[in-house]
Chain A
Amino acid sequence: DTEVTQTPKHLVMGMTNKKSLKCEQHMGHRAMYWYKQKAKKPPELMFVYSYEKLSINESVPSRFSPECPNSSLLNLHLHALQPEDSALYLCASRLNFMNTEAFFGQGTRLTVV
């Protein structure tokens, strides 16, 4: 199984809502990533978990809260988002950081209204 599964595929939320994005992989990968991608732009790194610990936070606003409950799951909790947070949110996983490829999910298309 070489899949990274993200749910939901689409999400519309109001600025006062709380929602969560989910990501799952069963490849035994120990590094998991959240990226944000705006239209016609490259993916922008948000968070990296390695061995279930947060190892990189790219100065992301606190309205985005990551969580890694176990080695297969990665969540991104959303609260009080702004319309400019509307984007494609991509999850990825890697075996480790040493010369390994990343496997990406299909993303969650988030619209904040």
Chain B
Amino acid sequence: SQQGEEDPQALSIQEGENATMNCSYKTSINNLQWYRQNSGRGLVHLILIRSNEREKHSGRLRVTLDTSKKSSSLLITASRAADTASYFCATGGSNYKLTFGKGTLLTVNP
């Protein structure tokens, strides 16, 4: 079963614009992670935010976490064509499970 629900399911923007993706989840978590997947390939870890953190930055990425609303957002600033990919949130709990949301397909047009 899927834990996270991302929205939007698809997002198309112009190079240089910012892209925001949201993720909601249902159960308690230890951490929430964001991954990127280029077409048909393996997933690449982007950023991890712990349940006691509210915001985290890494380069052009900014992640927020609101555990009271069970939601997270990923902001990519100054997007590039190379950012075109699917983005997934994944929740980690108290066991080894890492459960992925449905994902957002981001297209950055040059």
**CA A55 – CA B93 in complex, angstroms?**
14
- For the complex of A and B, the 7 pairs showing the least CB-CB separation, nearest first, are A104-B42, A101-B45, A42-B100, A97-B96, A104-B43, A106-B42, A48-B96
Interface size on B (CB < 8 Å)? Answer: 27
Contacts of A100 in B (CB 8 A): 48
Q: In the complex, what residue of chain A is closest to B2 when comparing beta carbons? A: A42
Inter-subunit contact B43/A99 (CB<8 Å): no
Q: Which residues on B sit within 8 Å (CB–CB) of A42?
A: 2, 88, 100-103
Which DSSP category, helix, strand, loop or mixed, fits chain A's interface? strand
B96: chain A residues within 8 A (beta carbon): 31, 33, 48, 50, 55-56, 94, 97
- New A-B pairs, 20, CB < 8 Å, besides A104-B43, A107-B41: A33-B98, A41-B102, A43-B43, A45-B100, A48-B97, A55-B96, A92-B43, A92-B98, A94-B96, A97-B30, A97-B92, A97-B96, A99-B31, A99-B50, A101-B48, A102-B33, A102-B98, A106-B41, A107-B42, A109-B40
* A103 contacts chain B at the CB level, 8 A cutoff: yes
Q: What band does the interface of chain A fall in when counting residues whose beta carbon is under 8 Å from B? A: 20 to 34
B27 part of interface (Cβ distance < 8 Å): no
Q: How close is B67's CB to chain A, nearest CB, in angstroms?
A: 14
Q: Return chain A residues, CB-CB under 8 Å to B41.
A: 106-107
Chain A residues proximal to chain B, CB less than 8 Å: 4, 31, 33, 35, 40-45, 48, 50, 55-56, 88, 90, 92, 94, 97-107, 109
Within 8 A of A (CB), among B76-110: 88, 90, 92, 94-103, 105
Tell me, rounded to whole Å, the shortest Cβ–Cβ distance linking B94 to chain A. 8
